Amino acid sequence: MGKKSIMLRLAIVSVTVLAFGHAVYAQDKKATTPPPAPAKAAKAPSPCKGLDEAACKAKSAECQWIAPKKGKQKPYCKLKAAKKAAPAKKDAAPK
């Protein structure tokens, strides 16, 4: 076998390995792409948003009027936060 024959065979093997490796890499890349996230459901708008002071105070069971003390922020109406129940106290055992 001549030197040219060996070099030609090595070149063919190298090209084949590179082509096969590239095809496998391209397939793996598509398989690892995460599926698109499902669309989130839109929240219902707050019943207190956009109300003036009188209307907000009329709905005092669910809304509260906020009047900032400092800064350039304007007064606004917002939904009252749900109050969390206080945790039950455990009786401490004497030591």
- pLDDT tens readout for residues 11-53: 888 888 777 666 665 555 555 667 777 777 777 888 888 899 9
List the domain boundaries for the chain. Answer: 1-32, 46-81
Number of other residues whose CB lies within 10 A of the CB of residue 77: 20
Mean pLDDT to the nearest integer, 76-91 = 72
Contact 50, 78 (CB under 8 A): no
The tokens describing 32, both together, are 């690892």
The predicted pLDDT at position 70 comes to 83
* Beta-bridge partner residues of 64: 78
Chain centroid offset of residue 89 CA: 36
- pLDDT tens readout for residues 48-80: 888 999 999 998 889 999 888 888 889 999 988
pTM above 0.75, yes or no: no
The predicted pLDDT at position 55 comes to 92
